[in-house]
């Protein structure tokens, strides 16, 4: 087979371009055989190689004082003190979820859990950032994905504590399922998936290998089209029970020092896990005998074995001569383990099938060989502007509030998160439903706040600003619990980057993320890119850079939640409101418009507001705190009341020109919180606010069973709750 004679159809099957094929031949100085072609195809897929995004991703900041492990490993890790490291990562499972929602979402959860386990950490929390098309047409996606997340997470016994769900037209054919996992490990026990030590054994543990998921990574690197449902066999089937046993066995590995490294088998299966593990050590290679891989079915070829994406498998690098110790640990959990090869020092991945040679490829060609794709970005068409003067004035704020709270993007998520076990582990000290969730670190007073955020409508209207707003909002969610933002993991979802306007969105988004993370001094320690989220060349998704953030509070006894706590408490708005309705839910729900620019973000002012709230929380001044986000001040205030079960009495809002009434109530200016505190704490808060140069304004007093703005509207909480909880059931 030569570059000329290779079947183009075959190339398409392994998702390689003729140019890439030529690069392979040039490097190998021969034509690759079938197995090698398949191995290179999956590892050079966008999903594994990041060939379209690598150059941009280098711009993201990843260093910081607390960072113990940045990007490049199975997950990132930060030091949280008292000898503990928090390990976390977010990853997409969009394409599989589009065609097989239940299993796609379930195996997405399973995969991200294994990434955390591979670092030696015990997973303590899951979050899921979801995007769907409008209801009810998207019901089968919503139903399947939510059931799949619950089916896996509930069974394995890791609490699902947070995430987000949004509905937009652009996700109708391309739902997004981004799963984040957070784990804990003693700093000295943090593992790295490096195939160190020539001669050390490579053991494959967990599930037997079947023919499922072959070409999954390649499939995830293509646009969806009408034939995509034929790809259903490329979606794997999850077995959370097996993964639970695998998890416990891997935790038991801590009892032995025979283990050098653990690596998850995810996209591209054995091929990528062996190559990545060896690729992290200079000059290392690996020798694999596929005949020794335990199989689920007969008739599997070496090609199948090397490319299978069967779930619930791990690669363990074990010190030579100590394999029996490790085998015994897995055996106790009734798990199969098999020595399938060993680490070499020849820099090559050699695959044999018993006595027969199957493949031999340089590790560097597999992991770093894919020629970077030089794509060109061209600014997308400017989205429609917003003429505020053409908007009819707000007539009835109360009625608008009810409509907003009943809209799919703002309604209560209880109907979803009550289907997830969010309590197992006895560590969830702030449950889902507020801003960030919080997990305590047992045996200490430390609390980890966790959240995911992204308003993709903002990103659509202005990707650079939208990405910054996503970081800012995630930080506010963390801060609203009293915790300090610590580090970020990101899941960057885009459409087809071959289209110049999409690549431009990528450039802008990543620049915005980098800018905001630098301003907040937040390192991005792990992440994932998902491209080709469009269908048959149309219905491209909005750029959706989901920001997963972890924060830390040194005493979770000082944590804050969003709900009002006491009758008579002062309810305050921290930060100032701009005359801003661009990209807002109000505009969409009340006027059917997605237009304008997202609200302006002044990062210096944002940080000042954040510092004020953190200082007030640390000094014990606050009873509650809640981020003002989608739906603006009034929706945030209603949430404070609904979550606390207490109403609020406010004098009429009389905004000063040029601030319009609708913008005052429903504008989405960032850098704002709603807090409550006892009257005694007011003087101290006022002086803190002066010191931080932050505007604070008294909204009203907590109390009663209604939300009331004197002379403007009065709504019973029961009626508001009905609207809020009625939408997503």
Residues recognised as catalytic = 47, 93
Closest CB to another protein among residues 270, 564:
564
Placement of tokens 């009734």 in the chain: 334
Which two three-digit tokens encode residue 392? 């009819």
Identify which range of 380-388, 425-433, 494-502, 580-588 contacts another protein by CB under 8 A: 425-433
Q: Which residue's CB is nearer to another protein, number 442 or number 654?
A: 442
* Contact residues for 452 (Cβ-Cβ < 8 A; gap 6+): 90, 127, 128, 129, 162, 163, 164, 178, 180, 474, 546, 547, 548, 549
Decide if residue 103 touches another protein (CB under 8 A).
no
Task: Report if residue 121 touches another protein, rule: CB under 8 A.
Answer: no
Using CB under 8 A, which of the segments 153-161, 386-394, 517-525, 718-726 binds another protein?
Answer: 153-161
Please report which residue ranges of 570-703 form alpha helices under DSSP H.
Answer: 585-591, 603-618, 632-644, 661-666, 682-692
DSSP 412: -
Count Cβ neighbours within 10 Å for each residue of 603-633 and write b for 16 or more, e otherwise: bebbbbbbebbbbbbeeebbbbbbbbbbbbb
Q: Does 157 bind another protein (CB under 8 A)?
A: yes
Q: Determine the interface stretch with another protein among 18-26, 90-98, 151-159, 378-386 (rule: CB under 8 A).
A: 151-159
Q: Does 240 bind another protein (CB under 8 A)?
A: yes
In this structure, what token pair is assigned to residue 448? 């980890």
At its nearest, how many Å lie between another protein and the CB of residue 332?
9
The reply on whether position 426 binds another protein by CB under 8 A is: yes
Choose between 83 and 557: whose C-beta lies nearer to another protein: 557
Contact segment (CB under 8 A) with another protein among 195-203, 364-372, 418-426, 506-514 equals 418-426
Residue 241 in contact with another protein, rule: CB under 8 A: yes
Residue 244 as a binder of another protein (CB under 8 A): the answer is yes
Who's near 256: CB < 8 A, 6+ residues apart?
322, 325, 326, 329
Residue linked to tokens 């020794």: 292
Question: How far, in Å, are 554, 569, 628, 652 from residue 714 at the CA level?
Answer: 40, 19, 21, 11
d(CA 203, CA 691): 59
Q: Is 336 in the site for another protein (CB under 8 A)?
A: no
Q: What is the dihedral of CA 558, 523, 598, 130, to 10 degrees?
A: -80
718 binds another protein (CB under 8 A): no
Instruction: List alpha helices for 480-583, DSSP H.
Output: 500-519
Give which of 82, 68, 187, 162 is closest to 447, Cα–Cα. Answer: 82
Which of 61, 162, 279, 425 lies at the binding interface for another protein (CB under 8 A)?
Answer: 425
Q: Which of 386, 429, 475, 487 binds another protein (CB under 8 A)?
A: 429
Residue 424 touches another protein, criterion: CB under 8 A? yes
Query: How many residues sit in the footprint of another protein (CB under 8 A)?
Result: 31
Between 158 and 629, whose beta carbon lies closer to another protein? 158
Please give the order of strands across the beta sheet that includes 570-574: 624-627, 673-677, 570-574, 696-702, 648-650, 706-709, 713-716
* 109/352 with CB nearer another protein: 109
Shorter beta-carbon distance to another protein: residue 30 or 140:
140
Which residue in this structure is represented by tokens 């009758």?
A: 567
Whichever of 110 and 279 has its CB closer to another protein, that residue is 110
Determine, following the binding rule CB under 8 A, whether residue 440 of this chain makes contact with another protein: yes
**Residue/partner pairs of 690-693 with CB below 8 Å, 24 or more apart:** 692/608, 692/609, 692/611, 692/612, 692/615, 693/608
Among 103, 174, 239, 468, the residue binding another protein under the rule CB under 8 A is 239
Is residue 328 a contact residue for another protein (CB under 8 A)?
no
Residue closer to another protein, measured from CB, 161 or 370 = 161
Q: Are 152 and 240 in contact (CB under 8 A)?
A: yes
Using CA atoms, how far apart are residues 384 and 399, in angstroms rounded to an integer? 27
Helices within 488-579 (DSSP H only): 500-519
Q: Does 450 bind another protein (CB under 8 A)?
A: no
Distance CA(481)–CA(551), nearest Å, equals 9
Q: Is 150 in the site for another protein (CB under 8 A)?
A: yes
Judged by CB under 8 A, the stretch of 216-224, 263-271, 412-420, 719-727 that binds another protein is: 412-420
Does position 428 interact with another protein (CB under 8 A)? The reply is yes
Task: Indicate the residue among 151 and 527 with the shorter CB distance to another protein.
Answer: 151
Q: How far is the CB of 133 from another protein (least distance, A)?
A: 22
Write down the H helix ranges in 321-462: 323-332, 363-368, 397-405, 414-417, 456-461
CB 112, min distance to another protein, A:
18
Residue 128 interacting with another protein (CB under 8 A): no
Which of 413, 419, 558, 649 touches another protein (CB under 8 A)? 419
Site string for another protein, 509-548 (x = CB under 8 A): ----------------------------------------
Contact 548, 449 (CB under 8 A): no
Do residues 552 and 529 lie in contact, with contact meaning Cβ atoms separated by under 8 Å? Answer: no
For residue 556, state whether it binds another protein (rule: CB under 8 A): yes
Q: Counting contacts by CB under 8 A, is residue 421 touching another protein?
A: yes
User: Among residues 690, 674, 605, which one has the least CA distance to residue 642?
Assistant: 674
- Range in contact with another protein (rule: CB under 8 A) among 16-24, 70-78, 419-427, 516-524: 419-427
Kindly tell me which residue out of 282, 334, 538, 656 binds another protein, with binding defined by CB under 8 A.
334
Question: Shortest distance, CB of residue 151 to another protein, whole angstroms?
Answer: 8
Which is closer to another protein, CB of 417 or CB of 458? 417
Phi, psi of 648 (to 5 degrees): -150, 140
Count of alpha carbons within 13 angstroms of residue 181, beta-carbon side: 29
Q: Which is nearer to another protein, 245 or 402 (CB)?
A: 245
Q: Are 571 and 702 in contact (CB under 8 A)?
A: yes
Cα distance from N-terminal residue to C-terminal residue, the chain:
58
Binding of residue 154 to another protein (CB under 8 A)? yes
Residue choice 192, 280, 313, 422 for contact with another protein (CB under 8 A) = 422
Q: How far is CA 458 from CA 100, 469, 479, 601, in A?
A: 29, 8, 22, 12
Alpha helices, DSSP H, located in 168-268: 216-219, 240-252
Stretch that binds another protein, among 149-157, 198-206, 256-264, 289-297 (CB under 8 A): 149-157
Q: Which residues pair with 314 in a beta bridge?
A: 205, 264
Distances (CA, A) of 489 to 89, 127, 532, 603: 6, 12, 21, 20
Query: Contact region for another protein (CB under 8 A) — 152-160, 345-353, 535-543, 694-702?
Result: 152-160
By the rule CB under 8 A, 142 interacts with another protein: no
Q: Which pair of structure tokens corresponds to residue 286?
A: 């690996």
Q: How far is the CB of 443 from another protein (least distance, A)?
A: 8
Q: Of the two residues 248 and 695, which places its CB atom closer to another protein in the complex?
A: 248
Position among 106, 242, 685, 720 found at the interface with another protein (CB under 8 A) = 242
Q: Which stretch binds another protein (CB under 8 A): 164-172, 287-295, 428-436, 481-489?
A: 428-436
DSSP three-state, residue 279: helix
Question: Quick check: 163 binds another protein (CB under 8 A)?
Answer: no
**Chain positions contacting another protein, by CB under 8 A:** 150, 154-157, 239-242, 244-245, 248, 333-334, 417-426, 428-429, 431, 440, 442, 556-557
């Amino acid at each position: 087979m030569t570059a000329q004679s290779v079947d183009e159809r075959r190339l398409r099957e392994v998702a390689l371009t003729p140019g890439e094929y030529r690069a392979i031949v040039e490097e190998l100085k021969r034509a690759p055989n079938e197995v090698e072609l398949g191995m290179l195809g999956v590892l050079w897929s966008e999903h594994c190689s990041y060939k379209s995004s690598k150059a941009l991703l280098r711009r993201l900041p990843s260093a910081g004082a607390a960072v113990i492990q940045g990007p490049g490993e199975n997950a990132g890790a930060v030091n949280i003190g008292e000898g503990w490291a928090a390990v976390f990562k977010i990853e997409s499972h969009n394409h599989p979820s589009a065609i097989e929602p239940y299993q796609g979402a379930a195996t997405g959860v399973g995969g991200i859990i294994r990434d955390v386990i591979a670092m030696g950490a015990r997973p303590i929390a899951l979050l899921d950032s979801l995007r769907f098309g409008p209801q009810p047409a998207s019901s089968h996606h919503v139903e399947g994905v939510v059931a799949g997340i619950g089916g896996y997470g509930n069974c394995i016994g890791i609490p699902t504590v947070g995430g987000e769900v949004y509905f937009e037209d652009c996700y109708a054919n391309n739902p997004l399922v981004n799963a984040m996992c957070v784990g804990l490990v003693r700093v000295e026990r943090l593992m790295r998936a490096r195939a160190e030590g020539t001669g050390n054994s490579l053991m494959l543990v967990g599930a037997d290998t079947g023919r499922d998921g072959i070409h999954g990574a390649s499939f995830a690197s293509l646009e969806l089209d009408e034939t995509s449902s034929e790809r259903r066999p490329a979606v794997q089937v999850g077995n959370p029970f097996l993964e639970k046993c695998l998890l416990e066995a891997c935790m038991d590995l801590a009892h032995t020092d025979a283990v050098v490294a653990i690596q998850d088998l995810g996209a591209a299966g054995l091929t990528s896990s062996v190559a990545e593990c060896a690729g992290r050590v200079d000059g290392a290679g690996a020798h694999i005998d596929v005949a020794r891989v335990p199989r689920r079915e007969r008739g599997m070829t070496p090609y199948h074995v090397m490319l299978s994406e069967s779930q619930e498998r791990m690669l363990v690098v074990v010190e030579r001569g100590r394999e029996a110790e490790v085998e015994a640990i897995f055996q106790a959990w009734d798990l199969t383990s098999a020595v399938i090869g060993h680490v070499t020092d020849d820099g090559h991945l050699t695959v044999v099938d018993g006595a027969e040679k199957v493949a031999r490829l340089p590790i560097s060609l597999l992991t770093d060989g894919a020629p970077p794709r030089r794509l060109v970005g061209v600014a997308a068409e400017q989205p429609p502007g917003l003429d505020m003067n053409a908007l009819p004035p707000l007539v009835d704020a109360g009625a608008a509030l009810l409509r907003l709270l009943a809209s799919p993007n703002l309604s209560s998520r209880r109907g979803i998160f009550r289907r997830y076990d969010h309590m197992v582990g006895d560590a969830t000290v702030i449950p889902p439903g507020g801003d960030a969730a919080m997990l305590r670190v047992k045996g200490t007073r430390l609390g980890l706040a966790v959240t995911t955020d992204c308003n993709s409508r903002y990103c659509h209207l202005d990707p650079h600003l939208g990405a910054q707003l996503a970081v800012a909002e995630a930080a506010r969610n963390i801060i609203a619990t009293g915790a300090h933002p610590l580090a970020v993991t990101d899941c960057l979802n885009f459409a087809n980057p071959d289209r110049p306007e999409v690549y431009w969105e990528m450039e802008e988004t990543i620049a915005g993320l980098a800018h905001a993370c630098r301003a907040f001094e937040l390192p991005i320690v792990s992440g994932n890119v998902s491209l080709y989220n469009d269908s048959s060349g149309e219905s491209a998704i909005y750029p959706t850079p989901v920001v997963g953030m972890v924060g830390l509070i040194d005493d979770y006894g000082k944590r804050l939640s969003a709900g009002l706590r006491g009758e008579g408490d002062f309810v305050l708005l921290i930060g100032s409101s701009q005359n801003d309705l661009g990209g807002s839910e109000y505009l969409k729900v009340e006027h059917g418009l997605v237009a304008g620019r997202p609200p302006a973000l002044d990062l210096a002012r944002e940080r000042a507001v954040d510092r004020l709230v953190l200082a007030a929380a640390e000094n014990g001044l606050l009873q509650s705190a809640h981020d003002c986000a989608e739906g603006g001040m009034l929706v945030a205030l209603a949430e404070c009341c609904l979550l606390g079960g207490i109403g609020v009495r406010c004098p009429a809002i009389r905004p000063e020109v040029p601030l319009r009434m609708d913008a005052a109530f429903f504008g989405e200016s960032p850098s704002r919180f709603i807090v409550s505190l006892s009257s005694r704490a007011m003087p101290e808060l006022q002086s803190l606010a002066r010191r931080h140069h932050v505007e604070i304004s008294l909204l009203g007093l907590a109390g009663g069973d209604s939300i009331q703005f004197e002379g403007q509207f009065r709504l019973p909480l029961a009626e508001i709750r009905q609207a809020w909880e009625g939408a997503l059931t």
